[in-house]
Amino acid sequence: MATANKKTSMYERIYEVVRSIPEGRVSTYGRVAKLAGGCSARNVGYAMASLPYGSNVPWQRVINAQGRISIRSEGEGGLVQQKILEAEGVVFKENGSVDLSEYGWPTG
């Protein structure tokens, strides 16, 4: 039981950080992990994957360290994520990446 509570607590820290990412910005799995503390980029990926449909956590704003959308098992997820981000004002380069120096969060 303690393990489940610890996992829930970690996921809640991750979700809190992701909710802080402003519209039109992105952050990386690793950066979210560092800000949440006590977890890895992989944990952030698992937390994003476990979100229920309709969640208020803006999962689309978390991308990989290369500024790219990570491929998901459902196939169309990456395209959906890109379309949502573009609607928020995030511009993708021709190679499919996002300029983290321009759109990355937090800045500085």
Read off the pLDDT of residues 73-102 as tens digits, 9 standing for 90 and up.
666 678 899 999 999 999 999 999 999 999
Residue 19: which domain range?
A: 2-103
What's 46's domain CATH number? 1.10.10.10
Task: Determine if residue 79 is left, alpha or beta; phi over 0 gives left, psi from -120 to 50 gives alpha, anything else beta.
Answer: alpha
Mean pLDDT in consecutive groups of 10 residues from the start of the chain, 108 residues: 64 97 98 97 96 95 96 73 97 96 90
- pTM, rounded to two decimals: 0.88
Burial of 6 (0-12, 13-18, 19+ CB in 10 A): exposed
Using DSSP's 3-state secondary structure scheme, residue 45 falls into helix
86 is a domain residue? yes
Instruction: Identify whether 51 is part of a domain.
Output: yes
Residue 68 domain-assigned (yes or no)? yes
Give me the pLDDT at residue 2, please.
47
**Considering its fold, how many domains does the chain have in total?**
1
- pLDDT value at position 5? 62
Q: Which phi and psi (to 5°) does residue 30 adopt? A: -65, -40
- List phi, psi (to 5°) of 53: -55, 135
In a domain, 63, yes or no: yes
